[in-house]
């Protein structure tokens, strides 16, 4: 049962977001982190994200029953009751926000609260009515890097804004790739993702535009003097690879394996960005 509750938190999503939280923290601390503050920030962020995912599972349980990849989830299958899941999610939220507000600081706590409300209150509902819900979800998904940064800096400056915007722009092609290769599932659940409402070719055009915008945003850290040439070379090179695969995929927009490759490449781009960002203060 412990494993079932753990899976209810969508651990893959939690761990993925902790990568960017850590990157923002290490970047702001110039790779000299205070261990207690780092631990509180990561643990608090993880608990808040886990709580948001639990509440998302509660809201999505009927739709999850209609999709092949989600019909065995604990709430969809009835393994865990809604009341128990609600209690579990509430406990996670209290623990996470307590760590962020009272240990990490007021500003990272507020950023986390913003992300939590946007994801749970708005994104989980809007996605059933509009393909543009992806923009709302991107705001929540971009917040962990800002949580990590502001836990150290205690203010939201130009660098924090650049990091936030960069992650918003990264998420758009990442989400669109998911919408492409999981289109059948979304159609079965009645979720109007862009690949369904506008088609695969139009989705690839958006992917290409957002990859270009992502690269420009990521590069701007160097242009504003926050990072050096090594960081610039890595984000530009990985962004170019990502763009190349998007252009190739756009020639056969209905190819599901190509869309899946786009998804995994987006993960590689994010990880390379996070690692390079972490070391940027000590790199030329």
Residues 162-182: tens digit of each pLDDT: 999 999 999 999 999 999 999
pLDDT number for residue 109: 97
Provide the sign of the torsion angle of the four alpha carbons 278, 149, 9, 35, taken in this order: positive
pLDDT number for residue 70: 67
pLDDT number for residue 33: 75
pLDDT number for residue 161: 97
Q: What is the pLDDT of residues 77-135, one digit of tens each?
A: 778 888 898 999 999 999 999 999 999 999 999 999 999 999 999 998 898 888 888 99
pLDDT number for residue 68: 73
Instruction: Give me the residue spans of the domains in the chain.
Output: 1-155, 157-284
pLDDT number for residue 144: 97
> What kind of fold does domain 1-155 have according to CATH?
Tetracycline Repressor; domain 2 (1.10.357)
CA dist 139 and 263 (Å) reads: 19
Q: Left, alpha or beta for 255 (phi > 0: left; psi -120 to 50: alpha)?
A: beta
- Dihedral of the alpha carbons of 146, 229, 217, 250, in degrees to the nearest 10: -120
Q: Residues in the chain with pLDDT < 50? A: none
Tell me which DSSP letter residue 123 carries. I
């Amino acid at each position: 049962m412990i494993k079932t509750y753990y899976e209810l938190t969508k651990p893959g999503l939690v761990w993925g977001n902790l990568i960017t939280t850590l990157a923002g923290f290490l970047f702001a601390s110039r790779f000299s982190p205070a261990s207690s503050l780092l631990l509180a920030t990561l643990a608090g962020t993880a608990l808040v994200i886990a709580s948001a995912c639990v509440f998302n599972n509660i809201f999505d349980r009927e739709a999850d029953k209609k999709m092949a990849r989600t019909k065995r989830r604990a709430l969809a299958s009835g393994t865990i009751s809604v009341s128990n899941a609600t209690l579990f999610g509430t406990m996670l939220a209290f623990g996470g926000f307590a760590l962020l507000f009272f240990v990490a600081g007021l500003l990272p706590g507020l950023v986390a609260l913003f992300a939590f409300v946007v994801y749970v209150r708005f994104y989980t509902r809007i996605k059933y009515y509009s393909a543009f819900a992806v923009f709302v979800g991107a705001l929540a998904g971009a917040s962990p890097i800002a949580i990590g940064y502001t836990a150290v800096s205690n203010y939201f400056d130009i660098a924090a804004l650049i990091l936030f915007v960069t992650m918003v722009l990264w998420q758009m092609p990442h989400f669109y790739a998911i919408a492409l290769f999981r289109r059948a599932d979304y159609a079965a659940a009645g979720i109007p993702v862009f690949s369904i409402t506008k088609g695969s070719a139009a989705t690839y055009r958006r992917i290409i535009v957002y990859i270009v915008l992502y690269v420009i945003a990521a590069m701007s850290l160097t242009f504003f003097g926050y990072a050096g040439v090594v960081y610039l070379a890595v984000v530009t090179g990985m962004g170019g690879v990502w763009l190349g695969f998007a252009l190739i995929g756009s020639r056969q927009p209905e190819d599901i394996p190509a869309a899946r490759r786009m998804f995994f490449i987006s993960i590689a781009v994010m990880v390379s960005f996070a690692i390079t960002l972490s070391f940027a203060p000590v790199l030329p």
